[in-house]
Amino acid sequence: MLSANFEMKDLGEASFVLSIEICRDRARGLLGLSQKAYIRRVLQRFEMHNCAPGDVPIIKGDKFNKTQCPKNELERDSVKNIPYASAVGSLMYAQVCTRPDIAYAVSVLSRFQSNPGQEHWKAAKKHVFSCIFTDISSTWKAMEALYVSGKARAIGVSNFSSKKLGHLLEVARVPPVVNQVECHPSWQQAGLHAFCKSKGVHLSGYSPLGSPGSTWVNSDVLKNPILGMVAEKVGKTPAQVALR
């Protein structure tokens, strides 16, 4: 130890470094980093602390390019007071330290820092800020407390991917009973189903007839030709076949 060779005061284990909290759980052999306080300040600075939590920082179908940048003085005036560069910079610090999940979205939005448009700002607020708002570990601890106290008979999650569910299971004292996701013939979630089964988590499906208007999957389930062929063969409607 340094104290054996130098005159110094032992302040014990570090709890914070550069606004990053060091979380230790020796009983479970866990060591983690948290930027909850920093992220809370960032959200308040950009008036996003009351936003609804989001699931992903960017979704399929999102497209950003230079055509969305201001092209004249009127358009530039409409965004001149938007703190776009400051917001992206704040997100970059979170991305580098504790939130690698937002790295791709931040890298895309950072390309437009010199001349951002309204669409770029909307994307930063709608997807990235709402995504970092979600504090899953703290939320889950609160849910575990409800379960232990007997106020909840079971606790679960919704729309968790295999990766996201795996991260939760690493820190959960009470594992989720169920993971509810969209599931239908056009989106069967085979990989997620296998993962949930291996972890003892029941996979529950919603929107069995699809979700019209979604951009991430072909949701026109009832027009699926195979479904129609099976329905005709058994004398049922495509909806009845999909539900079975």
Overall number of domains in the chain: 2
Judged against a pLDDT cut of 70, whether residue 222 lies above it is answered with yes
| Domain carrying residue 93 | 36-132
Taking 80 as the threshold, does the pLDDT of residue 48 lie above it? yes
Question: Do 128 and 193 fall into the same domain?
Answer: no
Together in a domain, 128 and 146 = no
Question: Considering 132, 164, 194, which residue would you say is the last residue of a domain?
Answer: 132
53, 74: one domain: yes
| Residues 156, 86 within the same domain | no
Tell me, yes or no, whether 92 and 181 share the same domain. Answer: no
pTM of the model: 0.57
Residue 194 lies inside a defined structural domain of this protein? yes
Residues 142 and 114 in one domain: no
101 shares a domain with 190: no
Q: How far is CA 184 from CA 164, 177, 180, 202, 235, in A?
A: 21, 21, 12, 16, 20
- 25 within a domain of the structure (yes/no): no
Rounded Cα–Cα distance for residues 45 and 66 (Å)? 27
61 vs 232: CA distance, rounded Å: 34
Among 102, 132, 162, identify where a domain stops: 132
Sign of the dihedral through C-alpha 89, 130, 159, 151: positive
Domain stops at, among 93, 112, 132:
132
The answer to whether residue 23 sits within a structural domain is no
pLDDT at 133: 66
Q: Name residue, tokens 């890298």.
A: 107
CA gyration radius for the chain?
23
List, for residues 136-154, the tens digit of each pLDDT value. 777 898 899 999 999 999 9
What's the mean pLDDT in 5-23? 81
